[in-house]
Amino acid sequence: MRAFTRGLIGIAGFLALWELLGRSPLIPAHALPPPSVVFGELVTQLTSPAFISHVVATVLAVLIAIAIAIAIAVPSGLVLGSVPAVRHATRAIIEFLRPIPSVALIPLALVMLGFGPETKITLAVYAALWPILFNTIYALDELDPLLVETARVFGTRRVGVLFRVALPSALPFVLTGIRLAATTALIVMVSVELMAGSQVGLGYFIMEARSGPGRMDQVLVGTVVAGAIGVLLNNGLERVRRRWVAW
Amino acid sequence: MNKFFQRWTVFAGLVAVWQLLGWLADDPFFPPPSEIVTAAWQWWVVDPRNFTEHVIPSITRLLSGWAIASVIGVALGLLLGRSDRAMEYAGPLLVFLRSIPPPALVPVFLLLFKAGQSMQVATIVFGVIWPVLLNSVDGARSVDVTKVDTSAVFRIPRWQWVLGVVLPAASPKIFAGLRVSLSLSLVLMVISELVGTDNGIGSQLMQAQREFDYTRMWAGIVLLGVLGYGLNTALLAVERRALAWQPRSRDEQHA
Amino acid sequence: MSNMLEVADLGHTYGDYEAIGGLTFTVRAGELVCVVGPSGCGKSTLLRTISGLIAPSRGDVSLKGSHLAVVFQDYSRSLFPWLSVQGNVEFPLRGLPRAERRARAAEALEWVGLGAAARKRPWQLSGGMQQRVAIARALAYRPSLLLMDEPFASVDAQTRFELEDLLLRVRREHDTTVLVVTHDIDESVYLGDRILVLSGSPARLVADLEVPLPAERDQVTTRTDEAFVALRSKVARLLNVGGKPAMDVEKWAAAERESLSETVST
C-alpha cells in the first residue's frame, strides 16, 4: 500500500512538472498543453462516440494481430526449437528478416494491401512474430532433460513428450513473449495508423488532430490513451502469467 | 562449418527461387533479387550524393539517439536499481511512459524541437531508452548480497562501488537491453524520417513508394535489413568481448 | 523366487571411454538390491541402460513385466512444476480411467504420508516431501522394478533417515522389487537385502554380498549391530576407502555427486 502511494506521488510529481513546463514561457503554449487542459479534453473525448470507436478499432486490430502472431509463431517455434536441422537451415533467413524494421515495410504493405485494416494488422503481426518465436525456441532450449527422461522412463512417447512435457514447460516463456509482442503490436499499430492512413484508429485520431486544427491537446489525449492501453495489455498479460503459470 | 554451409545453401536456394519467380511473373511489386541488389548498389553505394545525403545522416541519427538513450538509461537505471524507495516512486510512471507509442509523440517533438535532426534524435531517444533503463534497474538489483557485504567490509569509495561492482554485475542485463534498443533505434529512425524531412533512408523509402519505383523501394528495405544485421553483429562482438569474464553468455534470448 | 531383472554381460562405451565392462547379475522378485561403486564408475550409465534411456553397446537387460519406474536424485527437476502433486503422481497412469487414476494416486500419496498435500504444487513442498512425491509416483505406477538413482543424496541427514525408513516400509508392505544406486556405503548396508559392489571404470562386479540383517531395521539399533558394522567395513575395503578417516569418504562422496550431475547434463 505504501508502495502504491509512492507510485501515485511519482506520477503526480511528473504531472506537476509537465504543468509547470506547459505554462512556462520557455515553451510555446500550443506545443505542450499542460495536463489540466489535456485531462479536460480527455474527459470530453471519452464521452464522444467517435473517439471510442477509434479506440475500439485499434484495440481490436491489436488483438487480432496478436492472435495471428501466436498462431504462426508458437508452432514454428516448437518446430525450430525441437528439430535442430530445420533451425540451422532457416537461421540465415531468420537473421536476415528479423532486423528489417516493420515500418520499413509500410510502403510495400500499402501498395500490396491498400489502406484497409489488412495493412496495419499484417505489419503488426510481422512485428509481433519475433518475440514469440524467439521465446518459444529459447524455452525449448531451456527444457530440462531430466523432465524428458522422467516422462520417457514412464513410457511416454515422442508426441506425448511434446504435448505433456515440452509445451507446458515452455508456457511461461511463451507468455512472456506474448506480453512483449502485445506492446510491440500496439506501437506498430498506432504508428501505421498515424503514418499510412487507414481511416480509423487511435493513430488516425492523433494524425487528424495534428494536421487539421493543430490541436495538441487532442494529440496528447490520444497519446495518453495509447499509453494506458499499453499498460493495461502489459499488466493484464503479466497477471494472466502469474495466475495460471505460477512456477 | 557444415552447419554454416547448410544454412547459407538454404538461404541461397530461397533467393534463387524468388529470382526465378520474379522473372517468370514479371510483377512490378516483386522485382527479382538481382534487380534489387543492382538498384541498391547503384542507388546507395555508387551514387555518392545519396550516400552522403541519406545514408550517413540516417546512421548518425540512429547512433546518436541510441548513444544518448544508453548513457541516460544506464545511469538512471543503476541509480534507481540501487534504491528500492526510488523505484517505488518511479516504477508506475516508467511503466506508463514505456507503453506510449513513440510515434504518437512525433507531433509534440515536431513543435518542441522544430523539424530536423534534433526532433528525430529526440524521437529515437524517447523510444529506445526504456529497454536500457529497465534492464539496468534489473541488473543493478541483481548484485548479490555477498558482493555488497564484501564491498562494505573493504570500505571502497563510492565511485569504485558503482563502476567496479554494480556496473559489471549489471552488465549482462544492460547488454541485453542495449541490443533491444539498437534494433528499436532502426525502427524509430525510419519513423522519424517519414515525416518532416526529405533526407534519410526512411524518407527515400516513402518517396520511392510515391513515385511507384518499387525496385528502389525494395532496395531501401534490403539496405535497412543489412544495416540492422550489421549493427546487431557489431554489438554482439563488443558484448562477447566485454562479457568474456562471464561463465556463459547467451546469444539469443527474449529480444 | 523368480528373477525380476536379469542383466547379462552388459557393457557400454562412449566413444573410446568404456564406462561399463561386462556386468552380469540378477535381481529377484521382492528383493531390494543396492549398487555401490567408487566415483565415476558408471553407476549412472548402468541405471540409464537398465531404464532404457540409452541402448547398451553390448549385452542384455531383460525385465520381467514391462513396468519400470525411476526415482531420480534431483527431485526438484524430475517433478513437473505445472502439475499438482496429485497430477504428478497420475502422470504415468495415462490410459487408465480417470476414477482409477485418482484412486491410485490418492492411495500412493497415503502410503508416503502426503495425503493432505495432493492439491499443492511440488515446489511448495520441502525437499524431503518432494522426494516422497517422486516415490509415490513410482509406486502408483505399480512397477515390476523400481530403480532409484541416489534417491536420498540431496536431502539433509534427518530427512534422509526418514526417507530410508519410508522406503523400507513401503516396499515391505507392497512387495516391490527395488534397485538402488548409491555412493553411500552405510545406506547400502542399511537398505539392502543384497549389495553389488562395483570397481572403478570400467565398472565391473567386484562382489555380490548378502546382507545378514533382519528385515525389520532401525536407524539406531541396526547401525550399531555387529553384522552391520562388519559388512560396512567389508564394503569399504572392497571400495578401497577402508581405514581412511570418515572425512575422506565424505569428499569422495561429494566428487561422486559432481560426476553424476555431469553425466545427467550431457
Determine the pLDDT at residue A133. 92
Contacting residues of A for B95, CB less than 8 Å apart: 231, 234-235
Identity of the amino acid at C209? L
Residue C222: partners with Cβ closer than 8 Å, 6 or more residues away: C190, C213, C228
- The whole-number average pLDDT for the span C46-54 is 86
Determine the pLDDT at residue C173. 84
Q: Are A132 and A185 in contact (CB under 8 A)?
A: no
Buried b (16+ CB within 10 A) or exposed e, C117-136: bbeebbeebeebbbbbbbbb
Helix (H, G, I), strand (E, B) or coil at C67: coil
Residue C102: partners with Cβ closer than 8 Å, 6 or more residues away: C86, C90
Residue B214 lies in a domain: yes
Q: Does residue B192 or residue B45 have the better pLDDT?
A: B192
Q: Does residue C144 or residue C39 have the better pLDDT?
A: C144
| Phi, psi (degrees; rounded to nearest 5) at C212 | -85, 55
- % of chain A surpassing 70 pLDDT: 98
- pLDDT tens-digit readout, B137-147: 888 887 777 77
Identity of the amino acid at A138? Y
Does the beta-carbon distance from B227 to A130 stay under 8 Å?
no
- pLDDT tens-digit readout, A27-47: 777 778 888 888 888 888 888
Q: Does residue A69 or residue A215 have the better pLDDT?
A: A69
User: Domains in chain B: how many in total?
Assistant: 1
Alpha carbons C184 and C100: distance in angstroms, whole number: 38
Does the beta-carbon distance from C53 to A164 stay under 8 Å?
no
Q: Are strands C68-71 and C145-149 parallel, antiparallel or unpaired?
A: parallel
Does the beta-carbon distance from C72 to A147 stay under 8 Å?
no
Cell of B239: 558484448
Is the pLDDT assigned to residue B157 strictly greater than 60? yes
Alpha carbons B140 and B148: distance in angstroms, whole number: 11
User: Domains in chain A: how many in total?
Assistant: 1
Alpha carbons A219 and A194: distance in angstroms, whole number: 11
- The whole-number average pLDDT for the span C11-40 is 86
Q: What is the CATH number of the domain that holds A202?
A: 1.10.3720.10
Q: How far apart are the CA of A91 and the nearest CA of chain C, in angstroms?
A: 25
Cell of A18: 509537465
Alpha carbons B62 and B223: distance in angstroms, whole number: 14
C264 touches chain A (CB under 8 A): yes
**Chain B nearest-CA residue for A206:** B104
- The whole-number average pLDDT for the span A168-195 is 88
| Phi, psi (degrees; rounded to nearest 5) at C17 | -85, 120
Determine the pLDDT at residue C253. 54
Neighbours of C109 (CB within 10 A): 24
Residue B117 lies in a domain: yes
Residue B198: domain span: 34-242
Is the pLDDT assigned to residue B255 strictly greater than 60? no
Determine the pLDDT at residue B201. 82
Taking the CA atoms of chain B, what radius of gyration do you get in angstroms?
22
Does the beta-carbon distance from B108 to A220 stay under 8 Å?
yes
In sequence order, which ranges of chain A are alpha helices (DSSP H)?
A: 2-23, 35-46, 49-82, 84-97, 106-113, 117-141, 145-153, 158-161, 167-195, 202-211, 216-244
Taking the CA atoms of chain A, what radius of gyration do you get in angstroms?
22
Mutate to test the interface with A, among B36, B99, B119, B135 (most CBs of A within 10 A): B99
| Cβ contact C–A (≥3 pairs, < 8 Å) | yes
Contacting residues of A for B85, CB less than 8 Å apart: 6
**Which of B100, B108, B190 lies nearest to residue A226, judging by beta carbons?**
B100
Determine the pLDDT at residue C163. 87
Determine the pLDDT at residue B72. 94
- pLDDT tens-digit readout, A1-23: 577 888 888 888 888 888 888 88
Write down the residue that cell numbers 495460471 correspond to: A244
- The whole-number average pLDDT for the span C75-102 is 88
Q: Residue B248: which pLDDT band, with cuts at 50, 70 and 90?
A: low
Burial level of C28, CB count in 10 A (0-12/13-18/19+)?
Answer: middle
DSSP labels for A117-181?
HHHHHHHHHHHHHHHHHHHHHHHHHT--HHHHHHHHHTT--HHHHIIIIIHHHHHHHHHHHHHHH
Question: Which positions 74-93 of B are in contact with A (Cβ < 8 Å)?
Answer: 85, 88-93
DSSP labels for C196-262?
EEE-SSSB-EEEEEE--S-SS--TTHHHH-HHHHHHHHHHHHHTT-TTS-HHHHHHHHHHHHHHHHH
Containing C128, the helix (H) or strand (E) segment is helix C127-140
**Maximum distance among all alpha carbons in chain C?**
56
A210 touches chain C (CB under 8 A): no
Is the pLDDT assigned to residue B2 strictly greater than 90? no
Is the pLDDT assigned to residue C117 strictly greater than 90? no
- pLDDT tens-digit readout, B180-235: 899 888 888 888 887 767 788 888 887 887 787 788 888 888 888 888 888 888 98
Alpha carbons C77 and C94: distance in angstroms, whole number: 21
The dihedral built from the CA positions of residue C130, C132, C138 and C141, taken in this order, carries a sign that is negative
Is the pLDDT assigned to residue A114 strictly greater than 80? no
Structural class in CATH, domain C1-66+175-266: alpha beta
Residue B13 lies in a domain: no
Residue A199: domain span: 48-244
Residue A136 lies in a domain: yes
Task: Report chain B's mean pLDDT, rounded to a whole number.
Answer: 80
Does the beta-carbon distance from C91 to A144 stay under 8 Å?
no
